[in-house]
Amino acid sequence: MSHTPHELAEEFPDQMAQMAELRQNDAHFVKLSDSYHTLNRAIHRAETDVEPTSDDNMTRMRRERLGLKDEIAAYLRAHV
């Protein structure tokens, strides 16, 4: 099995405990992190040609992932 890059633990290593607590107690954070995880896996499958996609769709998915990452980062800062 290959390593999936850009997982939240890799992107926010210093906030692991905070993310674990938010996943237990905050439904909005669960939705954000689940959406990020699902999209990140889809991008990885496309990048590794497990599920190829068009360049336009790849660009759209990467932009969406970046937007989710920014939203998660802001959420983590706001819920310290």
The residues spanned by each domain of the chain are: 36-80
* 5 vs 1: CA distance, rounded Å: 12
> 17: part of which helix (H) or strand (E)?
helix 16-25
Indicate the pLDDT class of residue 17, thresholds 50, 70 and 90: very high
Residue with structure tokens 């993310």? Answer: 19
Cβ pair 32, 71 in contact under 8 A = yes
DSSP tally for the chain: helices H, then strands E: 4, 0
| Cα 10–Cα 16–Cα 20 angle in degrees, nearest 5 | 125
**Token pair recorded at residue 47:** 């990048």
Residues 6+ apart with CB under 8 A from 41: 4
Indicate the pLDDT class of residue 9, thresholds 50, 70 and 90: very high
Average pLDDT estimate for 9-27: 97
